[in-house]
């Protein structure tokens, strides 16, 4: 049976947030956290992974506050680690494996340092770590991909979404289809408050004002799998080399011909890697 977006859709009220998510499967809880792009959701990031992982685990793909169909949030309100813990508490999940792309990976890293008793496995795909890019001014400013992402937030047209998808992936001819780009544009424009809050929050540290402290990475004790595209133009793969050097129980898989969206560009390999890692590590 093929899982559908509508059939897996759920909502829940936590202490502070009304959160939208997708749920499937049984067994060990696995929480999937999406990235920060305009129109990003749990489903848009992980629609090619939920069904495969749900054959082995109890999977939750969450729209975090400020994205998708979850509550809007200003940058001053954003604490995705706290939101993730509230989500777990509301569903009665004591511990879970966390799988995070980009912003979601940064959230998962920070959660592993601040709530080590709530996480069993850590999987990241292209998380930013360390010194954040300067969003304004000359010098070593944002990466090529981040520049395009910000422009897509400012003007979420189908054209800018095409530029965004092209910079996120290695094989742009395959993934930057007119249909996908229009769908991302429609999804972003459906929640103009999300767009406005992101742009207004840029001088204040959006999308996440609080990041993991690099000096705490060595304290992460859970098994950690780092997945990174060799051709990532948003967050360089050297970032995951830094994580590999600092997280004791970590391993790195560097995927050739792959950009920032490993789970979308190489779903079969991603699903096998993550499934086997959580089941056996």
Positions of E strands within the chain: 9-13, 18-24, 29-33, 58-62, 96-101, 119-125, 224-229, 250-255
Q: Which residue range forms the structural domain that includes residue 237?
A: 5-133+212-280
Sheet holding 29-33, edge to edge: 9-13, 18-24, 58-62, 29-33, 96-101, 119-125, 224-229, 250-255
> Mean pLDDT, the chain, as a whole number?
94
Summarize pLDDT for 139-168 with one digit per residue, the tens: 567 888 999 999 999 999 989 999 999 999
Quick check: is 221 in a domain?
A: yes
Determine, yes or no, domain membership for 233: yes
Instruction: Give the pLDDT of residue 99.
Output: 98
Structure tokens at 195: 């767009």
Does the pLDDT at position 183 exceed 90?
Answer: no
Q: CB-side exposure of 65: number of CA atoms within 13 Å?
A: 25
DSSP string, 132-146: PPPSSSSSS---HHH
Q: What pLDDT band is residue 132 in, cutting at 50, 70 and 90?
A: low
Q: Is the pLDDT of residue 138 over 70?
A: no
Q: What is the average pLDDT across 165-173?
A: 95
64-85 pLDDT, tens per residue?
999 999 999 999 999 999 999 9
CB 164 within 8 Å of CB 184: yes
Give mean pLDDT, residues 104-133: 92
pLDDT at 140: 61
DSSP class of residue 204 equals: G
Contact 22, 47 (CB under 8 A): no
The pLDDT tens digits for 202-250 are 988 889 889 999 999 999 999 999 999 999 999 999 999 999 999 999 9
* 194 within domain boundaries: no
Contacts of 21 (CB under 8 A, 6+ apart): 9, 10, 11, 12, 42, 60, 61, 62, 63, 87
Specify if 193 maps to a domain.
Answer: no
What's the whole-model pTM score? Answer: 0.96
For 98-109, write each residue's pLDDT tens digit: 999 999 999 999
Average pLDDT over residues 106-121: 98
**pLDDT, average across residues 177-188:** 88
| Residue 187 lies inside a defined structural domain of this protein | no
With respect to residue 119, please indicate whether it lies within any of the assigned structural domains.
Answer: yes
- Say if 195 falls within a structural domain: no
Average pLDDT on 10-24 reads 98
| pLDDT value at 10 more than 50 | yes
DSSP letter assigned to residue 56: T
Selected catalytic residue, list 34, 80, 228, 260: 260
Q: What are the pLDDT digits (tens) for 192-203?
A: 999 999 999 998
pLDDT (mean) for 24-41 = 97
pLDDT on residue 180: 84
Q: What percent of the chain has pLDDT over 90?
A: 85
Q: How many domains does the chain have?
A: 1
Q: Is the pLDDT of residue 133 over 60?
A: no
Domain containing 246 — which CATH number?
Answer: 3.40.50.1820
% of the chain residues with pLDDT over 70: 96
pLDDT category of residue 134 using cuts at 50, 70 and 90: very low
* 260 noted as active-site residue: yes
């Amino acid at each position: 049976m093929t899982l559908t977006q509508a059939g897996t859709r759920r909502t829940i009220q936590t202490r502070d947030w009304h959160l939208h998510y997708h749920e499937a499967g049984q067994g060990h809880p696995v929480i999937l956290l999406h990235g920060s792009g305009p129109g990003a959701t749990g489903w848009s990031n992980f629609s090619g992974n939920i069904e495969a992982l749900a054959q082995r685990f109890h999977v939750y793909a969450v729209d975090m506050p400020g994205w998708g169909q979850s509550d809007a949030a200003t940058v001053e309100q954003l604490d995705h680690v706290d939101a993730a813990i509230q989500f777990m508490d509301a569903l009665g999940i004591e511990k879970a494996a966390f799988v995070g792309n980009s912003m979601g990976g940064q959230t998962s890293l920070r959660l592993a340092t601040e709530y080590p008793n709530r996480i069993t496995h850590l999987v990241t795909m292209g998380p930013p770590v360390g010194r954040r890019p300067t969003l304004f001014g000359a010098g070593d400013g944002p990466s090529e991909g981040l520049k395009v992402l910000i422009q897509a937030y400012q003007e979420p047209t189908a054209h800018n979404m095409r530029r965004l998808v092209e910079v996120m992936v290695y094989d742009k001819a395959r993934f930057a289809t007119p249909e996908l780009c229009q769908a991302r544009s429609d999804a972003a424009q459906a929640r103009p408050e999300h767009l406005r809050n992101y742009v207004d929050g840029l001088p204040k540290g959006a999308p996440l004002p609080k990041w993991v402290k690099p000096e705490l990475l060595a304290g992460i004790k859970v098994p950690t799998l780092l997945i990174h595209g060799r051709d990532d133009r948003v967050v360089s793969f050297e970032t995951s080399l830094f994580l590999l050097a600092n997280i004791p129980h970590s391993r790195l898989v560097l995927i050739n011909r792959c950009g920032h969206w490993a789970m979308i560009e190489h779903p079969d390999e991603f699903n096998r890697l993550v499934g086997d890692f959580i089941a056996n590590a």
